[in-house]
Amino acid sequence: MHNAAFAALGLNWRYLACEVHPDHLRAAIEGARAMGFAGLNLTVPHKLVALDLVDALDKSARKWGAVNTIRFEPAGVDGRARIRAVGFNTDAGAIVAALRGDLKLELRGAKVLLLGAGGAGRTAALRLAAEKVAELFLVNRTQSKAKAVAAEIKKQFPSVRVTPGYPAANVDLLLNATSLGLQPDDRLPLDKRHFSLNRARAVYDMIYRPAETALLQAARKAGCRTANGLGMLLHQGAKAFEIWTGKHAPLDVMRRALEENIHG
């Protein structure tokens, strides 16, 4: 999506994917800085470690406690070229942009069942709480993690009702932030004895490949509005593009590139 966007804007830039061992993350960031890269994206398992490896954190990275985007920028006033690395988080905002864009959801006052309390689930829970959802139900295989996220929300967002476990009533949104669904023989990420999909108005799966997970297929059949995680991938990328280039991201071009390359 980035290379398509560079081409659309006539920028002679390139986006490259490199696999980096966690032990070498510091050296990789230094290497990119030394080679004059404009910036980096980081993904699993680098997003937390990078908090300590950059020179400064944007408020987005401080607030959400993870770095998925780095911008290298000139710093210093003594005339000597010094390039500092600034860490940003574009994942958290992308959750809201995707839910609004793809599901036309009003999050303020909504009731949400969130599956998963790993890195993505925790960020989603905090971001939804910041949007002032009315009620959050948190379900995770390892219950202690759901409880820890619930405690964090109670502390930071006391007006949001947060309950570990399944809801008894209907919800506006069911959001899957677990990795269940990535593999073709994965079971559903929810326990149908505790929650039936016709009790959710909309279902969002953060997984984007396959385009329709078993969860989304079951949700569509149950009459829910559905969307996969492509929109989140798109919006975190578009924001990173704007951070690096200072230009407005061509969203349609980027979306088309993603659809062609991921689902095409």
Residue 181 near ligand ATR by CB under 6 A: no
Instruction: Give me the least distance between CB of 141 and ligand ATR, in Å please.
Output: 3
Q: How far is the CB of 258 from ligand ATR (least distance, A)?
A: 18
Query: Nearest distance from residue 125's CB to ligand ATR, in Å?
Result: 11
Crossing angle, helix 230-245 and helix 251-258, to 10 degrees?
130
Residue closest to ligand ATR when measured from CB atoms: 118
DSSP helix/strand/coil, 6: helix
Residue 84 one-letter amino acid: R
Q: Which of 95, 114, 117, 190 lies at the binding interface for ligand ATR (CB under 6 A)?
A: 117
Helix locations, 15-81, DSSP H: 25-34, 59-64
Q: Which of 47, 111, 147, 154 is catalytic?
A: 47
d(CA 156, CA 158): 6
SS (HEC) of 162-195: EEECCCCCCEEEEEECCCCCCCCCCCCCCCCCCC
Q: How far apart are CA 158 and CA 193, in angstroms?
A: 30
Q: Which is nearer to ligand ATR, 100 or 145 (CB)?
A: 145
Q: Does 54 bind ligand ATR (CB under 6 A)?
A: no
Instruction: Provide the 3-class DSSP secondary structure of residue 97.
Output: helix
Nearer to ligand ATR among residue 91 and residue 102 (C-beta): 91
Q: What is the CA radius of gyration of the chain?
A: 19
Minimum CB–partner distance for residue 117 and ligand ATR (Å): 5
Binding piece for ligand ATR, criterion CB under 6 A, among 11-19, 118-126, 153-161, 231-239: 118-126
Binds ligand ATR by CB under 6 A, chosen from 27, 44, 151, 168: 44
* 138-167 positions binding ligand ATR, by CB under 6 A: 140-142, 145
Out of 120, 126, 153, 162, the residue judged to bind ligand ATR by CB under 6 A: 120
> Is 131 in contact with 107 (CB distance < 8 Å)?
yes
CA 202 to chain centre: 18
Q: Is 239 a residue of the active site?
A: no
Catalytic residues: 47
Binding stretches for ligand ATR (CB under 6 A): 44, 116-121, 140-142, 145, 177-180
